[in-house]
């Protein structure tokens, strides 16, 4: 995580750096800083908190600069730990984790260096100072050779008023040239509005950015050619389009987004190859984190039910260290909105090395997962800025259900595409009823904890509802298998505890209602999300959202809508900013 930017050109660097950092705040926002070179001296502006705190630095002069917005890993969020880190004549910004920092620090301390922060990143500035012999690029190459872990780094030196140097391993980095300037950033959103030529740096590559433009080098510092990225500057420029928060805007986009996922899938150039692979697939491993993990769980219900193919869904951070069993004809699905989640990348690579055919389901073109997958399927949800995933979840579901349909067909079964296509209208109808959850807020405001219950696909959706609530309201909550509640967790339910029950599968409805009776008998306030009208006015139910009917296997794409809305409105009612929950970042590029 963390966002980095850099600029050298004919303009003052500060406005670009600050605007770029604001666009990268989805990567972290607990401290920020910029360094500007002026008159052969590095001037540092850093703060705890958001980039906007650096507003007064906007007028500072200097045509060369670097900047950083931080999500703390090593060292608390504080001004001293904020980047850039300066040592001697060198300033650096870093995204990633230096795993051998203690070994390196020990070595540098023994040489007489002193450190001014608790971060792992500061060692990079010290190593540059140690290896520098008049050539910043060569010093960066030697420094990179000492680093273990992940890094995207941009560096500048007081002796060199017209150049930046960058290095990348595992953490994303984009460099650009045009409009009289050169640019570097963690992702293209920070630069896109400039409409310049952009290039993605690969693992182990370096870049020199100066008045001549961008030059990219391999590990041995041999120049390598780069193809410019194709991108739409407007689509990359974040805009709330009149909504108070990105999260609400992104929820409103869901009907359009799932339509696109469905249509794009059938037209995808990878479709034929995928169909061939599906024909021989005997089992599926899904690796993912957070919300993407929940879409994997929802997909498991659909695939196993419709295709009778076993699906294992594993949290990526567990899969990667578990020595998983990957028999021949395993299809691995790596589901990741950002395509940059470190654990998902590692788990996907592991599955591929073990012989699985790797399909990436991602939302971000040119992301790291696209470089390792055998086939890439794009969810096409468009940029998602709010830290809490919403539209990307629904788009992942739609795409995973499309895969389920193609898999069923490849095994001689029926196609579900027509049904999936109809979901577009059903979702649009369901979206309206979500506003009804606003009436639930008073019952949740004073709650100490919240429960989400369901069975089957409803259970997977309940887990997502609970994650969303925790993430942006900071209320403790649990998503629970309705039948499991009585084995311990029921002890937590007392007078007034809000319990959200999901009821979309007629075959399981009465079973879930058993749990509803149990919590109601202990004084819980029960809120129902259902597509079964006969349950709406049951005496146990305080209030219900009635959803349009759809196949039980696909129901999470609908039932999650009121859950997302509940988390959003409760977050605001509790005085939070739903777009930027504390302690979190959108893209988790560290382990």
Contact set with ligand M6R (CB under 6 A)? 289-292, 336-338, 341, 344, 387-389, 471, 587-588
Please say which residue, 33 or 581, places its beta carbon nearer to ligand M6R.
581
Please say which residue, 167 or 332, places its beta carbon nearer to ligand M6R.
332
Q: 439 and 305 in contact (C-beta within 8 Å)?
A: no
Please say which residue, 302 or 346, places its beta carbon nearer to ligand M6R.
346
Catalytic residue among 89, 249, 391, 586: 586
Q: 385 and 580 in contact (C-beta within 8 Å)?
A: no
Kindly state the smallest distance separating residue 299's Cβ from ligand M6R, in Å: 14
Distance, in Å, from the CA atom of 66 to the CA atom of 58, rounded to the nearest integer, reads 13
Please say which residue, 140 or 387, places its beta carbon nearer to ligand M6R.
387
Kindly state the smallest distance separating residue 456's Cβ from ligand M6R, in Å: 22
Distance, in Å, from the CA atom of 305 to the CA atom of 77, rounded to the nearest integer, reads 47
Please say which residue, 104 or 387, places its beta carbon nearer to ligand M6R.
387
Give φ, ψ of 541 to 5 degrees: -95, 120
Q: β-strands 283-288, 311-315: how paired? A: parallel
Distance, in Å, from the CA atom of 32 to the CA atom of 48, rounded to the nearest integer, reads 6
Kindly state the smallest distance separating residue 511's Cβ from ligand M6R, in Å: 29
Cβ count within 10 A of residue 415:
11
Distance, in Å, from the CA atom of 354 to the CA atom of 214, rounded to the nearest integer, reads 38
Please say which residue, 314 or 389, places its beta carbon nearer to ligand M6R.
389
Helix (H) or strand (E) holding 284: strand 283-288
Please say which residue, 167 or 588, places its beta carbon nearer to ligand M6R.
588
Which pairs with CB-CB distance under 8 Å and at least 24 residues apart come from 571-578? 571/472, 571/473, 572/245, 573/441, 573/445, 574/445, 574/473, 574/474, 574/475, 576/472, 576/473, 576/474, 577/245, 578/245, 578/247, 578/248, 578/386, 578/388, 578/472
Please say which residue, 4 or 395, places its beta carbon nearer to ligand M6R.
395
Token representation of residue 184:
């570097």
Q: Is 2 a catalytic residue?
A: yes
Kindly state the smallest distance separating residue 153's Cβ from ligand M6R, in Å: 22
Token representation of residue 249:
């805007």
Checking phi first, is residue 547 left (phi over 0); if not, alpha (psi -120 to 50) or beta?
beta
Q: Is 166 a catalytic residue?
A: no
Catalytic residue among 2, 157, 262, 314: 2
Closest residue to ligand M6R: CB criterion: 290
Distance, in Å, from the CA atom of 331 to the CA atom of 352, rounded to the nearest integer, reads 9
Kindly state the smallest distance separating residue 460's Cβ from ligand M6R, in Å: 14
| DSSP code at position 297 | H
Return the C-alpha torsion angle 501, 395, 389, 337, nearest 10: 140
Please say which residue, 177 or 471, places its beta carbon nearer to ligand M6R.
471
Distance, in Å, from the CA atom of 560 to the CA atom of 581, rounded to the nearest integer, reads 20
| DSSP code at position 27 | G
Kindly state the smallest distance separating residue 336's Cβ from ligand M6R, in Å: 3
Kindly state the smallest distance separating residue 421's Cβ from ligand M6R, in Å: 25
Token representation of residue 396:
């992942």
Encode 235-267 in three state secondary structure. HHCCCCCCCCCHHHHHHHCHHHHHHHHHHHHHH
Q: What are the helix and strand counts (H, E) for the chain?
A: 18, 23
Catalytic residue numbers read 2, 586
């Amino acid at each position: 995580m963390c966002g980095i930017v850099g600029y050298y050109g004919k303009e003052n660097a500060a406005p670009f750096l600050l605007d770029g950092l604001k666009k990268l705040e989805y990567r972290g926002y607990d401290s920020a800083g910029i360094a500007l070179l002026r008159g052969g001296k590095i001037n540092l502006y850093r703060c705890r908190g958001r980039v906007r705190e650096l507003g007064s630095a906007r007028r500072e002069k200097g045509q060369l600069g670097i900047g950083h917005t931080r999500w703390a890993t090593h060292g608390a969020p504080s001004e001293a730990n904020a980047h850039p880190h300066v040592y001697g004549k060198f300033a650096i910004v870093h995204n990633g984790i230096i795993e051998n920092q203690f070994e390196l620090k020990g070595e540098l301390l023994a040489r007489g260096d002193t450190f001014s922060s608790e971060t792992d990143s500061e060692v990079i500035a010290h190593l540059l100072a140690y290896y520098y012999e008049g050539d910043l690029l060569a010093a960066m190459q030697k420094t990179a050779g000492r680093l273990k872990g992940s890094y995207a780094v941009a560096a500048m030196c007081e002796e060199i008023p017209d150049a930046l140097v960058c290095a990348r391993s595992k953490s994303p980095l984009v460099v650009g040239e045009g409009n009289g300037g050169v640019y570097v950033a963690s992702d293209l959103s920070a630069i896109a509005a400039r409409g310049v030529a952009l290039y993605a740096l690969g693992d182990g590559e370096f870049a020199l950015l100066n008045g001549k433009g961008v030059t990219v080098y391999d590990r041995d510092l041999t120049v390598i050619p780069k193809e410019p990225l194709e991108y739409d500057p407007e689509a990359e420029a974040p805009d709330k389009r009149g909504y108070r928060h990105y999260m609400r805007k992104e929820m409103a986009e869901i009907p359009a987004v799932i339509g696109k996922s469905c249509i794009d899938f059938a037209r995808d150039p990878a479709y034929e190859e995928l169909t061939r692979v599906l024909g021989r697939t005997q089992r599926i491993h899904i690796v993912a984190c957070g919300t993407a993990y929940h879409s994997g769980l929802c997909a498991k219900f659909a695939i196993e039910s419709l295709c009778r193919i076993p699906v294992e869904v594993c949290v990526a951070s567990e899969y990667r260290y578990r020595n998983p069993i990957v028999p021949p004809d395993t299809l691995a699905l790596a589901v990741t909105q950002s395509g940059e989640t470190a654990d998902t990348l590692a788990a996907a690579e592991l599955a591929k090395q073990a012989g699985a055919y790797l399909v990436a389901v991602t939302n971000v073109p040119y992301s790291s997962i696209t470089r390792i997958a055998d086939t890439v399927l794009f969810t096409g949800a468009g940029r998602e800025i709010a830290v809490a995933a919403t539209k990307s979840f629904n788009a992942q579901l739609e795409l995973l259900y499309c895969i389920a349909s193609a898999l069923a067909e490849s095994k001689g079964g029926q196609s579900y595409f027509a049904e999936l296509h109809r979901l577009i209208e059903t979702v649009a109808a369901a979206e309206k009823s979500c506003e009804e959850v606003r009436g639930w807020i008073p019952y949740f405001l004073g709650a100490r904890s919240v429960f989400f219950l369901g069975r089957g696909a409803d259970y997977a959706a309940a887990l997502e509802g609970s994650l969303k609530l925790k993430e942006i309201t900071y209320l403790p909550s649990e998503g629970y298998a309705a039948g499991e509640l009585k084995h311990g967790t029921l002890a937590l339910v007392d007078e007034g505890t809000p319990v959200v029950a999901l009821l979309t599968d007629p075959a399981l409805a009465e079973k879930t209602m058993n749990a509803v009776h149990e919590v109601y008998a202990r004084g819980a306030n029960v809120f129902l999300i259902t597509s079964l009208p006969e349950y709406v006015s049951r005496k146990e139910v305080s209030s219900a959202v009635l959803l349009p009917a759809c196949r039980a296997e696909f129901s999470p794409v609908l039932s999650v809508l009121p859950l997302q809305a509940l988390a959003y409105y409760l977050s605001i009612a509790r005085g939070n900013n739903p777009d930027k929950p504390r302690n979190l970042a959108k893209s988790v590029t560290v382990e």
